[in-house]
Each structure stands twice: as structure tokens, then as C-alpha cells.
Amino acid sequence: MKHNLISISQSRGRFALSFTLVMVLVSSALAASKPHIITLGKWTSVRWVPDSGAADDKPLTLKVRPLLVDGRVKEFTFGPAHDITERLFVVHRAFRLNDSLPTESTASPHWQWQRGGWLLVDRVTGRIAPANLPDFDVTYSEVSWYRDYAAYCGISDDGKQIYAVVAQINRRKPVVKWLIGEVKVAAETQQSQIPDSACKVPDWQRSPARVTFEANPSTKRTYVVRGHSVDLFTAEEDDEEAAK
């Protein structure tokens, strides 16, 4: 009888341990699969000083809104978001930078709003990561999105050349990088005090997927994008499309 009681007790102990392990695994699986709530908050206007290099840059108004994950502010953004898939979207980042000088003894930092790069957001995991856009300039590059492609005019590292760029999300090298010419936006910016794109905003079309860059009336190119490869869209092909 005593041996039977011990066996029953051991069986119950093993059952309780197994049940506990199963519940822990189920709870972990449910926690891992729990969808995150990704929202963009209300717009607010802030003062932004463009970093154009001009000595008399004047502050401009920038409308920003928070990016919230499960109700918590993770980043600040500006401009419209672009849906890549039902799961992924990109949005332009804004952030506050400490502009205090070492010689300034203030009780609190001198915060200044700045425009940043683009963010890639995963609605399922809640992950936020920088989107790699080669030669992207926060002041002079205005991005035109189509699917997971970003078309814009980028600025070289030395700030002297303008490139037509098509970048694809998750690819380190650009699909298109075409040298348009020398940078001439600095003088225009100093006169207008309004930062502008280094060239006209690229224009996307579908069937086939193609994008047109135009820095000026005499500089215009259209690229047909096929996956990771591109081809120049010729005038003959343009005439064929128009005739359809």
C-alpha cells in the first residue's frame, strides 16, 4: 500500500511538472505572437532650422507626430508614411538634437528639431530600423516611393555632386546611381531660405515599372526597373507606349 501511494505521488508530481512546462511554452508562444499596436499620433508644429550651411538660416515650421508602439512613443516623424506591404511601412524621422555650446552653462540642454533619415517599421514585431538610402541628404533629397523602391536625388559625401538614385529596401547598393551634375542648390537656398530638392521629384509609372529623373529641362532620364536590374527607357519605347 505504501509503495502504491509513493507511485501515485510521483505520477502526480510528474504530471504537475509536465503541465507547468506546457503552460509556460503556451504562454511564451502567445506572448511572442501577440500583435503590436503601431500608431502615428497627433500632429504638432515645431521650429526647425535647416542645416544648409548658410550663416543666416532662419527657423521654419515643421509638422511632426509621434510614432507609438503599444502606446509608447518610440520616435517622432514628419510627412506621410508609405506602405510597402501590409506588414511593413516607411516614414520620415524627426528628432531633437542638443544644440548647446560647451561654453554655455544652462540648466537644461538647448534642444533643436532636425530632420533625419527614413525608418522601416514592422507592424507585427514592432521593430523600427533605419532604412538604408545611399547618398540621401536630409535637406535636399525628396523621396518618391513606389513599392519597396525609393527614388530621389542624392548628394555626394563632399557635397559637390548630385546623383539620381533608386534604392531598394534591404539592398546595400543602389539599383540606379547616375551622376547628374554639380550641386547648385546652396546659393538658391540662401536666397529663398527654404530648402528644396536637389532636382525635380522623380516620377514613377507602372507597366512596366519605370521612374523619370529631371534635374532641368535638358537633363532627363527614364529607367525601367526589373527586380534588381534596370534599363534605360528610350525615346522609341516612349513612342510605342504613347501609340497604345
Q: Percent of the chain at pLDDT above 70?
A: 72
What is the pLDDT, as a whole number, of residue 32?
A: 54
Is residue 26's pLDDT more than 80?
no
Q: What residues are paired with 88 via a beta bridge?
A: 122
Question: Out of 66-70, 113-117, 193-197, 200-204, which region has the weakest mean confidence (pLDDT)?
Answer: 193-197
Residue 33, phi then psi, degrees to nearest 5: -90, -5
Give pTM, 2 decimals: 0.76
Residues 6+ apart with CB under 8 A from 188: 196
- Contact 225/203 with Cβ under 8 angstroms? no
User: Tens digits of per-residue pLDDT, 178-212?
Assistant: 998 877 654 444 444 445 677 889 999 998 999 99
Residue 174, number of CB atoms within 10 A of its CB: 20
Mean pLDDT score of the chain, rounded to an integer?
80
